Amino acid sequence: MDDNHDALAHGADQRRATRDHNEMRERVLARVLHLDAFGRMAMERAVRILRAYFVDRRSSAPRRGTLHWLMLVGDHADTGKPVKWGNEPLVFDIWGFVDHEAYKGLERYWGRAQAVLKSELGRAIAVELSVFTIAEAGRFHLTNPWLAKRYDGGIILFDRAMDPPSAERQTIHDRITAGADALDEPQSAAFAQYRRRGFDLARIANKLHASAAEAEMHLSEAFGALLARLGDDAQPQSLRPGLGQHPRHNLDLYHRPGDFDRILAVTFYRRAVDFVGLMVEGHARDRPSLVVREAANASEFALKTLLLRAGCSDEWNRQHIGLDLERELEEAQANGMPPPSPELARLIPPLSRYHRQGRTPDQARAVLAVIPPAEIVETVATLLNAVGRITGYTGLPGERGA
């Protein structure tokens, strides 16, 4: 009886290990979709080898070393630049992060892994490996801007906090799985495709028989529902330092932190749609102060939609722009938005002062002295239409009307 029980337990462990192995392979491949098939398979194999061959053989404390994450950095981590293997070898720059200075030595702990990499990847692919401690990563922004830039632009290939869940993390992982299972369609299908393939809107849209903009909207709704169900105690789950309490860093949900900001863009656009609707209602009810208030909100969210799409994170927007509509417009232009119309150029300075400095009745009157309510409505609606054309979001409903 005991033998049968042990055999069943062993079989269950093997099935779980196989499932985790396959899930890890899919996750790595989903994070490097900008590489060609040859490069993607090389990355998946490199991650598997590096994880397997980090072995601590110390006889004294600390006895057990931990590999916390692996990152692809440098030019090949730019997802906007497709990478294809040609006649020259592809050299991938991978950073590993460990929990103690003792485990940084490449020859002592990583030499076997590097030898296996050379053997397994062949001459067409090479890996340059650098190993840091977690504490060093936390100091990059203070001590070395070049390393900080590469770190911020890197792609997470493996994160111990999520790939796959360890025993102590299983409860949170199960909550996320249960939350995903409870999603309604089409949000459930959108999320399932994202988890398998990463932020590939073409695949998600094809699965949903929808446009790319609609697919992005459904994906955004899925994440919104999941975050609401999970609560603050399920985030963040990454062990990387200095990330703060922000859902963009919950790497149990997102393949990489930047995905949160990209998905948030469609949410901001839909909020702008709602604010434009409120602005129109305020004008119809002859409430000029309401027109000014909602125009400021609509302009902020419309412009931040473009910035998120351009790669500016939500945190960067909060820290460097906040409610400054003038700065926001300048940044939007620097990221591809055409020059503003004369009406928008006239409206934004007083509207920005109103938005930043307390939105008092006197500040609202200062805006209305520059441009009348009807023209404010037309100008901000035109701005939103332009954002819709640039992003492809035109026609999506606001969150209130969904």
Sign (positive/negative) of CA torsion 190, 195, 196, 197? positive
CATH code for the domain of 189 = 1.10.10
Domain boundary, last residue among 216, 236, 255: 255
Instruction: Let me know whether 217 and 297 are in one domain.
Output: no
Instruction: Let me know whether 238 and 268 are in one domain.
Output: no
What's the predicted TM-score (pTM) here? 0.69
Residue 252: the pLDDT is: 67
Instruction: Let me know whether 237 and 338 are in one domain.
Output: no
Instruction: Let me know whether 232 and 263 are in one domain.
Output: no
Residue 273: the pLDDT is: 96
**What residues make up the domain containing 31?**
2-159
> Contact 301/272 with Cβ under 8 angstroms?
yes
- For residue 75, give every residue at least 6 positions away whose Cβ sits within 8 Å of its Cβ, in sequence order, or none: 81
Distance CA 267, CA 194 (A): 17
Give CA 239 to chain center in angstroms: 16
Please give the helix or strand (H or E) that residue 130 lies within, else none. Answer: strand 125-133
Instruction: Let me know whether 251 and 266 are in one domain.
Output: no
- The label of the residue with tokens 């990221």 reads 335
> Contact 356/324 with Cβ under 8 angstroms?
yes
First vs last Cα of the chain: how many Å apart? 57
Instruction: Let me know whether 250 and 263 are in one domain.
Output: no
- Whether 78 is in a domain gets the answer yes
Distance CA 392, CA 363 (A): 34
What is the DSSP track for 4-66? Answer: HHHHHHHHHHHHHHHHHHHHHHHHHHHHTTTB-HHHHHHHHHHHHHHHHT-----SSSS----
- For residue 85, give every residue at least 6 positions away whose Cβ sits within 8 Å of its Cβ, in sequence order, or none: 36, 38, 39, 124, 125
Instruction: Let me know whether 250 and 266 are in one domain.
Output: no
Instruction: Let me know whether 105 and 146 are in one domain.
Output: yes
CATH code for the domain of 39 = 3.30.460
Domain boundary, last residue among 255, 279, 294: 255
- Whether 334 is in a domain gets the answer yes
Please list the pLDDT of the chain residue by residue as tens digits (402 residues): 455 545 444 454 455 555 666 677 788 888 888 888 888 888 888 888 888 777 666 666 555 567 888 899 988 888 877 777 766 778 888 898 887 777 776 666 677 777 777 777 776 778 888 888 877 877 787 788 888 888 888 888 888 766 766 665 667 777 788 888 899 999 999 998 888 777 888 889 999 999 999 999 999 999 988 888 876 555 545 544 455 556 666 666 777 667 888 899 999 999 999 999 999 999 999 999 999 999 999 999 999 999 999 888 888 888 889 899 999 999 999 888 899 999 999 999 999 999 999 889 999 999 999 999 999 999 999 999 999 999 999 999 998 865
> Contact 190/158 with Cβ under 8 angstroms?
no
Domain boundary, last residue among 126, 159, 192: 159
Per the structure, the count of domains in the chain is: 3
Q: In 3-state terms, what secondary structure has residue 92?
A: strand
* 90 bridge partner residues: 125
Q: In 3-state terms, what secondary structure has residue 128?
A: strand
Residue 391's nearest CA partner among 249, 222, 211, 248 is 211
Instruction: Let me know whether 218 and 317 are in one domain.
Output: no
